[in-house]
Amino acid sequence: MMRIEAPCVVSLTWKLTDAQNQPIDELPTPVEFMVGGDDLLAKVEEALSGHETGDELNIQLEPEHAFGDYKPELVCFENRALFPEQLEAGMTFEGLPDGAVTPGMPKDTIYVVTEVYPSHVVLDGNHPLAGMALRLRLKVEDVRTATPDEIEARSVGSGPVTVFDPAGAAPSRGALH
């Protein structure tokens, strides 16, 4: 049986909860992730190292090892006229719209609309799980050798969009998957 050692591809199922065990995300059907690439958080890869098919792990992730601390400076207010007529809380935008006036806001960030008012819109550039301690219960369903293409890409390049990736962006070091 193959042990998890970078670079390889693991097939995982998991349940993610907050520190009070309230459900956040579940991956009931196995999905493949690259170990030694950009698909998983470093702490998850570290915990998986040396394990094999059938192993189950419980991982506690503090904010600094998951999605970082919540940064109030990533919340801003912009003029309602800059946004589409059909706008509601929960919608996401890559970067701020043209005409945005809040100085110093990162351009390559996904912003979530948190509130909509007649005169302005409240946007939050924090990851939805920023500032949260998380508990991840995962099961290793399979382990295989990574292909040369996967190694070069540093990703398996597949997987569902979940709470970890609210805007459907490509995985990055800041994403669990």
d(CA 8, CA 2): 10
Higher per-residue confidence, 50 vs 173? 50
pLDDT of 159 = 47
Spell out the domain ranges in the chain. 8-67+131-153, 72-124
For residue 119, the tally of other CB atoms under 10 A from its CB is 8
Higher per-residue confidence, 68 vs 166? 68
d(CA 94, CA 42): 25
One CATH from 3.30.43, 1.10.3470, 3.40.50, 2.40.10 for 72-124? 2.40.10
Asked whether the domain spanning 72-124 has the same topology as the one spanning 8-67+131-153, the reply is: no
The values of phi and psi at residue 151, to 5°, are -65, -45
Question: If pLDDT is split at 50, 70 and 90, which confidence band does 43 have?
Answer: very high
Beta strands in 2-54 (DSSP E): 8-18, 23-35
**pTM here?**
0.75
Q: What is the mean pLDDT of the chain?
A: 89
Question: If pLDDT is split at 50, 70 and 90, which confidence band does 157 have?
Answer: confident
Is domain 8-67+131-153 annotated with CATH 3.40.50.11140? no
d(CA 26, CA 59): 15
d(CA 124, CA 102): 12
Q: Hey, what amino acid is at 73? A: E
d(CA 135, CA 18): 6
Q: How far is CA 90 from CA 50, 103, 116, 163, in A?
A: 39, 23, 10, 12
Reply yes or no on whether the pLDDT at 176 is more than 70: no
Reply yes or no on whether the pLDDT at 94 is more than 50: yes
pLDDT over 90, % of the chain: 86
Which residue blocks in the chain are alpha helix, DSSP H? 42-48, 148-153
